[in-house]
Structure 1
Amino acid sequence: MDPLQDVLALLEPQSHLSTSLVAGGQWAVRFDAPSGVKFNAVRRGSCLLEVEGIDEPISLAEGDCYLLTRPRRFTLRSGPGVEPVDAGPVFARAEDGVARAGDGDDVFLIGGRFSFGPRAQELLLDALPPIVHVPGGTPQARIVRWALTAIDDELLHRPVASMLVAEHLAVVMLVHVLRLHLARGPRALSGWLSGLADPAVAAALTAMHGDPARSWTVAELARSGAVSRSTLAARFKDTVGQAPLEYLTRWRIELAARHLRQGTATLAAIAHAVGYGSESALSVAFKRITGTSPRDYRRQWAPAGDPEQKRRGPGR
């Protein structure tokens, strides 16, 4: 299995498109810290992006897009020296899905945000920089441009189910942005994502994700990447920040936690599915990693008044 695909499937990303922005002349709009991961794409013109905690503004040209992976305030502006206005009133006056700032229409941006499952911060977002900027003029951004053009078309012509299609296209765009970021090399990454930039480590990650219940040894994982056991152990620790089997344990616990949040399987069945020989072995590992027992974790995620949960009893 593909580790990036596995993590994104676990996190269940959803896109939420927002009102577009048309601007011209001298303008600046200040935004509150967003919930989730914010994205904008410049479909026409150019502007500057300023993000709280980032020293230098980022120049955005036509075709560029970016992800803001931290909840930080930011400002979009035509240039320096313009007093920004708050985004709330600007977007409250929007008509036909378009807000306007300044005087004219030489700049057009579409945007929205991505929401994820409860483990997104640790599993994905902490491994990314605060801003992921994809210049639209690079050949590698071709598919991102295609997705953005398709979103534009859906929002402009509004065929049936246009919003559903546009939001799915935005998730496609997200995957391609992450691919492009991965291609920039390990210095642009941290955590398990940086491991994907190392062929031997990536092979070990792929092997573990392909069969997480298997009783892997470091020697077997090293053979998958055609390196020695000691080489894999050193490179895995250096890039991912964990030993290979420590990573495997944590991934198994993530899978078990998903079962507990979303399913009704017994702890014994979950233990078998993720590679533990018994319910007690899973419980010990789960408590060590998460700080809570599987039964308590399941109880936290059970819908209020769930009759099935009452029949099962806690953790069943």
Structure 2
Amino acid sequence: MDALAGLLDGPRARGAFLIRSVFDPPWAVRIQDGAPLTLMSMQRGTAWVLPERGEPVRLRPGDVAIRRGPEPYTVVDDPATRPRAVIHPGERSTSPGGDELCEVMDLGVRTWGERADGAAVLLSGTYQFEGEVSRRLLRALPDLLVLPGEAWHSPLVGLLAEEMTRDEPGQEVVLDRLLDLLLIAVLRAWFSRPSAAPAWFRAHGDPVVGRALRLLHEDPARSWTVAELAAGTGVSRAALARRFTDLVGEPPMAYLTGWRLALAADLLREPDATIGSVARRVGYGSPFALSAAFKRVRGLSPAEYRLQGPAGSGC
């Protein structure tokens, strides 16, 4: 497993919130649901994404945007348009004054808006719990990224749009997996652009550091030392430590700790996993050792992390 594969192996939507929003100008929706990650694509018309900080970003048909939460943002037809609807946690929608809009704007299966054939159609898929997307992936992303439609080619947006309007047995699972695939495809295309690639991705192309990263990702449970890692890459300990830190931004063992805890966070979400089994799989000698490291880095114990996550019922 290479570093990018390891990073992208994390997304696991579980009952993701997917909606097809249909509007006529002027329209504006403020998103303050606190979700860790949202994927958006214009199917028809254009829109602007207005973050709380930073410049507005335009979305054209075929573009895909990924918004990293939990900060609020607004999607509008024109930056001057005032919000007419607000999306809250738990998939609730209201007017800015607090009037419920879920039933008023319901247009059918996973479709919401003013009229079915409106001028603008926005597809949205939201990962609602942080555990569905690894923290390491979230840290690697900017607050808002846009992959232009001409920069990649994939049938996944069209397939997701088609499946969103169906209501068949098992449809929720189909949509979850399609959202995962689309997110992975978009991120892979985005990371491959030289101007967007983070340091660890560029480091993967280095003959020494890239080899070290592959070793760590292929066997994170091994009791690695810098000396063993250096032997595996054919350089001295000092040379590896210096080169790794320069290219990746942190020392090899610090990177390994972050990777192990990211894996642990994903594994802890599995229903049959125990803290002991997770500890063994990611290279900690005991549940206590994993718990101590997990709490030191994340601020809560593995048991507390498993129970974390907002609950809500939407429209």
Sort the TM-score into its range (normalised by shorter chain): 0.7 to 0.9
Match of 2:194, as an amino acid? G
* CA 264–206 in structure 1, closer or farther in 2 if over 3 Å, else same: same
SS in 2 for 1:76: strand
| Post-superposition offset of 1:255 | 4.7
SS in 2 for 1:124: helix
Over the matched positions of the two proteins, sequence identity in percent amounts to 29
* CA 129–19 in structure 1, closer or farther in 2 if over 3 Å, else same: same
| Post-superposition offset of 1:202 | 3.5
What does residue 71 of structure 2 align with? 72
Q: How does 1:186-197 map to 2 (within 5 A)?
A: 188-189=197-198, 192=200, 195-196=203-204
In the alignment, the residues of structure 2 paired with residue 33 and residue 185 of structure 1 have an alpha-carbon distance, to the nearest angstrom, of: 32
What does residue 51 of structure 1 align with? 51
Q: 2:121 aligns with which of 100, 108, 118?
A: 108
Q: Does 1:132 align with 2:145?
A: yes
Residues 36-79 of structure 1: CA distance to partner in whole angstroms, max 9, x if unpaired? 3122110112121111111x211111011111112222222222
Q: 2:182 aligns with which of 161, 166, 173?
A: 173
Deviates more, 1:63-72 or 1:88-97: 88-97
Preserved contact between residue 10 and residue 117 of structure 1 (Cα < 8 Å): no
What does residue 19 of structure 2 align with? 19
Q: Does 1:152 align with 2:161?
A: yes
In the alignment, the residues of structure 2 paired with residue 47 and residue 66 of structure 1 have an alpha-carbon distance, to the nearest angstrom, of: 11
| Post-superposition offset of 1:210 | 0.8
Provide the aligned length of Structure 1 versus Structure 2: 290
Residues 78-120 of structure 1: CA distance to partner in whole angstroms, max 9, x if unpaired? 2243333123347522221322359972211111201455495
SS in 2 for 1:18: strand
Rg larger in structure = 1
In the alignment, the residues of structure 1 paired with residue 167 and residue 116 of structure 2 have an alpha-carbon distance, to the nearest angstrom, of: 27
* CA 121–266 in structure 1, closer or farther in 2 if over 3 Å, else same: closer
Q: 1:290 aligns with which of 278, 283, 295?
A: 295
In the alignment, the residues of structure 1 paired with residue 253 and residue 209 of structure 2 have an alpha-carbon distance, to the nearest angstrom, of: 12
Specify every segment of 5 or more residues in structure 2 that has no aligned partner in the other structure, as ranges: 87-92, 96-100, 308-315
| Post-superposition offset of 1:211 | 1.3
* CA 266–76 in structure 1, closer or farther in 2 if over 3 Å, else same: closer
TM-score, scaled to structure 2 = 0.74
Match of 1:16, as an amino acid? A
| Post-superposition offset of 1:219 | 5.3
SS in 2 for 1:48: strand
What does residue 212 of structure 2 align with? 204
SS in 2 for 1:291: helix
Preserved contact between residue 40 and residue 65 of structure 1 (Cα < 8 Å): yes
SS in 2 for 1:109: strand
| Post-superposition offset of 1:214 | 2.7
* CA 206–176 in structure 1, closer or farther in 2 if over 3 Å, else same: same
In the alignment, the residues of structure 2 paired with residue 150 and residue 113 of structure 1 have an alpha-carbon distance, to the nearest angstrom, of: 17
Q: Does 1:98 align with 2:103?
A: no
In the alignment, the residues of structure 2 paired with residue 40 and residue 265 of structure 1 have an alpha-carbon distance, to the nearest angstrom, of: 35
What does residue 35 of structure 1 align with? 35
SS in 2 for 1:40: strand
Match of 1:242, as an amino acid? E
Match of 2:56, as an amino acid? P
| Post-superposition offset of 1:300 | 3.9
| Post-superposition offset of 1:229 | 4.8
* CA 273–166 in structure 1, closer or farther in 2 if over 3 Å, else same: closer
Preserved contact between residue 186 and residue 195 of structure 1 (Cα < 8 Å): no
Larger helix proportion of the pair? 1
TM-score, scaled to structure 1 = 0.74
In the alignment, the residues of structure 1 paired with residue 12 and residue 202 of structure 2 have an alpha-carbon distance, to the nearest angstrom, of: 21
| Post-superposition offset of 1:125 | 0.9
| Post-superposition offset of 1:215 | 3.7
* CA 83–5 in structure 1, closer or farther in 2 if over 3 Å, else same: same
Preserved contact between residue 291 and residue 301 of structure 2 (Cα < 8 Å): no
In the alignment, the residues of structure 1 paired with residue 269 and residue 163 of structure 2 have an alpha-carbon distance, to the nearest angstrom, of: 34
| Post-superposition offset of 1:174 | 0.7
Preserved contact between residue 129 and residue 189 of structure 1 (Cα < 8 Å): no
| Post-superposition offset of 1:152 | 1.5
